[in-house]
Amino acid sequence: MGERMRRLEVVFSRAPIYFVTACTHERRKILARAEVYRRLLEFAEGGPVRGAWLGAVVLMPDHWHAFVALDDEKGPAVGDWVKGLKNALSRALRDAGCESPHWQRGFFDHVLRSDESYAEKWDYVRENPVRHGLVGN
C-alpha cells in the first residue's frame, strides 16, 4: 500500500469556524447586563459586511464563548475580530458606569476541524451555565 498519509498541518477553508473564549479582568461578573447583550447583537449583525458571521454564543457573567466564521479573503483575523467585540462590549459597559479594565489580556481560540469538534465544543458551551449554577438545565 504505500506510505501512510500524514495528518494535514493546515486547514484550507475560505471561512474557517473558530471557537473563541474571552474572560473579564480578574473574572469580574460584569457581563450579565441587557446593554452588553444588545451591543453583542449589534456587533454580530454588522459582521457579514466585514466577513465575519457570529454563530452560537454564550454570554456568562465573567466570560463569553462564541463560534465565528471568518472569511479568509475579506474578513478580519481572529485577533482583530475579538478585539472589535471586546471594544464593542466595553463601550456598553462604560455606558452602564462600569469602570475599566474590562478584559483579561488575550483570548482562547480553536479552529474547528470537523462536525465532531463542533459538537464537542457546543456541548461544553451549552452546559456552561448549568455548571456555574446559573440555570437548572
Residues 14-25 pLDDT 10s = 678 999 999 999
Please state which of the four CATH numbers 3.20.20.10, 3.30.70.1290, 3.40.50.1820, 3.90.1170.50 is assigned to the domain occupying 18-131.
3.30.70.1290
Q: What is the pLDDT of residues 41-84, one digit of tens each?
A: 999 999 999 999 999 999 999 999 999 999 988 889 999 999 99
Domain boundaries, the chain: 18-131
Residue-wise DSSP of 31-91: --SHHHHHHHHHHHHHGGGGTEEEEEEEE-SSEEEEEEEE-TTTSPPHHHHHHHHHHHHHH
Please tell me whether the overall predicted TM-score, pTM, comes out greater than 0.75 for this model.
yes
